Amino acid sequence: RLDELVRAMERLPAQALVYYEDAGFYHREMAATARARLLPRIDVYGMNEDELQEYVGRSVDLLDARDVSAALAQAHALIPVSALVVHTRFWAIAVGPDAGRYREALENAVLMSATRYRLGDSLVASDLEETAQLPRHRGGERLVATLERTRTDARGVAAVVADVASPTTIGLGDSFVGGFLSAFYLREGSG
């Protein structure tokens, strides 16, 4: 299957964005195999906080800027893509030479996943606008501001604080990726 995927990726237009989300491997060694084969064509490599901690081999204090910065640097050294994206319950951050290109995509990704968390499967564009009016995680805001001030290769957004009685927690990563890609396409792909 990897051979088929590599062949398909080789036929993509040069300007096509390839986003790879690290998740769902029953056998973790397969993740390394897939990464090694696909990495030369991946533009954006995404993961959540659990995967970040797995890559760095330790717990990361997700609200400590120094700890997060060190973990992001370590993960980016292992996965040297133009933008490494990590999304957590507090923030979403891209690091790498092209990180600045994806700030709007990160914002939309956070809004999409927070809207799914709030409302489940049935959502429309106006629901994202309502989500955008909700407060942001203050610790996430501080962490993002610190990383953007201290690292030239980091851009991020704080997570939305959505307090709901029955949150939808399944599919948040998929919603994040969908929000990211739709915003990227609307900004760069349609013109």
Instruction: For 27-38, give the DSSP string.
Output: SHHHHHHHHHHH
- 2-189, CATH topology level: UDP-N-acetylmuramoyl-L-alanine:D-glutamate ligase (3.40.1190)
Which one, of 177, 186, 189, 188, lies nearest residue 46 by Cα? 177
Q: β-strand 91-95 against 44-48: which pairing, if any?
A: unpaired
Helix or strand (DSSP H, E) at 47: strand 44-48
pTM (two decimals): 0.94
Q: What is the pLDDT at residue 109?
A: 98
Asked whether the predicted pLDDT for residue 152 surpasses 80, the reply is yes
Q: β-strand 44-48 against 154-158: which pairing, if any?
A: unpaired
Q: What is the pLDDT at residue 189?
A: 62
Domain ranges of the chain: 2-189
54 and 71 Cβ atoms separated by less than 8 Å: no
Confidence of residue 188 (pLDDT cuts 50, 70, 90): confident
Q: What is the pLDDT at residue 87?
A: 98
- What does the pLDDT look like over 3-31, one tens digit per residue? 999 999 999 998 899 999 998 677 878 88
Looking at residues 52-71, what average pLDDT do you find? 98
> Rounded distance, CA 12 to CA 40, Å?
13
Q: What is the pLDDT at residue 42?
A: 96
Classified as helix, coil or strand, 82 is coil
> Rounded distance, CA 188 to CA 107, Å?
15
Confidence of residue 155 (pLDDT cuts 50, 70, 90): very high
Q: What is the pLDDT at residue 190?
A: 55
